[in-house]
């Protein structure tokens, strides 16, 4: 049985994961209409992953005799000035999600809820991967600068990531 405190906090995380899914879908849509099909594919895929994260929380909460509640949706930005700005925002968002997961772990430790803590460890590891992946993309964009050819290659690279490959491995 999960505590009311943790039930509320996990429901808040469900909202954050759902928001992440919609945020990346909106970003993918911007990429799709601004000449970056590879980035769009990458972000649509990432949007699906966030929905999977949301579902993990929903199932966990329901399995622990809690009640998952979907909350009102927040407005999303639909315009970006550049791919650079867009991926800077992805990174900032993932850093925000990491802080939120860490706060949940803190709460589990306070409440000595080892089961939920154990469940959250998957997300702790996932956030390391996600931040590192996005940081790598942001670093590549900084290297490219204003080079149009560089953006063409970056878009292909992101398409490869979406297909489950790394450009380094090709
Ligand atoms: Fe569910 Fe990208 O964090």
**Angstrom distance (rounded) from CA 168 to CA 170:** 6
Residue 169: predicted pLDDT: 44
State the distance from the centre of ligand 1 to the C-alpha of 160, rounded, in angstroms: 20
| Residue 93, ligand 1, Cβ within 6 A | no
Residue 50 CA: nearest ligand 1 atom is 1
**Angstrom distance (rounded) from CA 163 to CA 64:** 35
Residue 160: predicted pLDDT: 94
State the distance from the centre of ligand 1 to the C-alpha of 34, rounded, in angstroms: 24
Residue 78: predicted pLDDT: 87
| Residue 130, ligand 1, Cβ within 6 A | yes
State the distance from the centre of ligand 1 to the C-alpha of 149, rounded, in angstroms: 30
Q: Could you tell me the residue ranges of all domains in the chain?
A: 4-169
Residue 147: predicted pLDDT: 85
Residue 46 CA: nearest ligand 1 atom is 2
| Residue 53, ligand 1, Cβ within 6 A | yes
**Angstrom distance (rounded) from CA 155 to CA 151:** 6
Rounded to two decimals, what is the model's pTM?
0.93
What DSSP assignment string belongs to the chain? ---HHHHHHHHHHHHHHHHHHHHHHHHHHHHHTTT-HHHHHHHHHHHHHHHHHHHHHHHHHHHTT------PPPP-----S-HHHHHHHHHHHHHHHHHHHHHHHHHHHHHT-HHHHHHHHHHHHHHHHHHHHHHHHHHHHHHHTT-HHHHHHHHHHHHHHHTT--GGG-
Residue 126: predicted pLDDT: 97
Superfamily covering domain 4-169? Ferritin, core subunit, four-helix bundle (1.20.1260.10)
Per-residue pLDDT of the chain (170 residues), as tens digits, is 899 999 999 999 999 999 999 999 999 999 999 999 999 999 999 999 999 999 999 999 999 999 999 999 899 998 999 999 999 999 999 999 999 999 999 999 999 999 999 999 999 999 999 999 999 999 999 999 888 899 999 999 999 999 886 444 44
Residue 52: predicted pLDDT: 98
Question: Are residues 37 and 155 in contact, defined by beta-carbon separation less than 8 angstroms?
Answer: yes
Question: Are residues 116 and 6 in contact, defined by beta-carbon separation less than 8 angstroms?
Answer: yes
Longest Cα separation, the chain: 56
Residue 170: predicted pLDDT: 41
Residue 54 CA: nearest ligand 1 atom is 1
Report the nearest-CA residue for atom 1 of ligand 1: 50
Residue 168: predicted pLDDT: 47
| Residue 94, ligand 1, Cβ within 6 A | yes
């Amino acid at each position: 049985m999960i505590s009311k405190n943790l039930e509320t906090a996990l429901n808040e995380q469900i909202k954050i994961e759902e928001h992440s899914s919609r945020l990346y879908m909106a970003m993918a849509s911007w990429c799709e209409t601004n000449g970056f099909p590879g980035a769009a594919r990458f972000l649509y895929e990432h949007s699906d992953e966030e929905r999977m994260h949301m579902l993990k929380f929903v199932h966990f909460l329901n399995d622990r005799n809690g009640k998952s509640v979907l909350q009102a949706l927040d407005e999303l930005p639909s315009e970006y000035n550049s791919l650079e700005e867009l991926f800077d925002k992805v990174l900032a968002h993932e850093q925000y999600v990491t802080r939120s997961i860490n706060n949940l772990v803190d709460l589990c430790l306070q409440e000595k809820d080892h089961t939920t803590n154990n469940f959250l460890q998957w997300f702790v590891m996932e956030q390391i991967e996600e931040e590192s992946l996005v940081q790598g993309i942001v670093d590549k964009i900084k290297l490219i600068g204003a080079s149009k050819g560089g953006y063409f290659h970056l878009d292909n690279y992101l398409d490869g990531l979406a297909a489950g490959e790394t450009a380094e491995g090709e």
